[in-house]
Amino acid sequence: MQSLKVLLLSAAVGCGTGHPAAASSSTWYNSEGGKVRLVTSGKPDTAGRIHGVLDISLKPGWKTYWRDPGDAGVPPQIDISASTNIASATFSFPPPQRHDDGSGKWAGYDHPVSLPVTFTLSAPNEPAVIDADIFLGICETICIPVQTRLTIDPGSDPDNVEDAALVKAALAALPAPAGPDFGVNILPGDRETLIVEASFPGNPEAADFFVAGERDYMFGVPARSEKDGKLVFTVPILDRPTTTPTDGGLYYTLTTAAGAVEGLLPFP
């Protein structure tokens, strides 16, 4: 949040350690603004991946951030280096909402949210234990970093129906892949602006565009306009790398009354 001061004093940082649970989920870790836990579907898939969620239960009036929190927020982070047989962990994000704290706008969630996370095994046929150090911001009038370690033994209860249902629902809530009729295309811009033209069904007033800065890019709040009957978003580029990357791209999400899609944009 632009106007919120992040409390970095150790007394204000929720810091604790979870313990292995009997199910394929961790215990809840409680903080001032809500509680968090990790849940998995237990069994790895044929590609050696375990699907799970970071389950964030927010108290009324509290919020948390999308993958790009703006210039003053705390994005969700996960460190699995203490785990056994886990090579990587990657978050996915449901469609965010635009929030305004009075001095700035940012992307996030003002309701309980489950962020899908994919754990990739180092050795697909070997047992795994997830020891995940979690760091995220939960905010009301101030933003409190929450830091804890959550532990899961996915093989301890691999057929837990409730855990599997929660993971399935979180995956189903993700934006669909963007396509020619529902997505965005980059229009000519300059080094200081990213301009995209949006295609989508439904009411233009309900549409919003979110782009995540990474690789040293930082973006401002999109401005809306219309060109040839199409909705156009012009996004200020507040900072950029000295050299434009040639690999990968920028994650974006387009939200509308008809649903949401996500995709990758080439680096401007």
169 pLDDT band, cuts 50/70/90, is: very high
pLDDT recorded at residue 105: 83
| Whole-prediction pTM | 0.89
Average pLDDT over residues 108-128: 95
Question: Please, which residues bridge with residue 31 across strands?
Answer: 34
CATH 2.60.40.1250 domain residues, the chain: 29-174
Q: What is the mean pLDDT of the chain?
A: 89
Alpha-carbon distances, residue 246 vs 131, 235, 243 (angstroms): 34, 21, 9
CATH of the domain spanning 29-174: 2.60.40.1250
Residue 268, pLDDT score: 93
Q: CATH 2.60.40: does it fit domain 177-265?
A: yes
pLDDT at 75 over 80: yes
- Selection from 64, 58, 9, 12 nearest residue 33 by Cα: 58
- Residue burial 85-97, b: 16+ Cβ < 10 Å; e: rest: bbeebeebbbbbe
What would the mean pLDDT of 62-70 be, rounded to a whole number? 92
Instruction: Express each pLDDT in 195-216 by its tens digit.
Output: 999 999 989 999 999 999 989 9
Q: Alpha-carbon distance 35 to 189, whole Å?
A: 43
- Beta bridge partners, 149, equal 17, 133
182-197 pLDDT per residue, tens? 999 999 989 999 999 9
φ, ψ dihedrals at 129, nearest 5°: -130, 130
- 237 to 70, 99, 163, 217, 222: CA distances (angstroms): 12, 20, 41, 7, 10
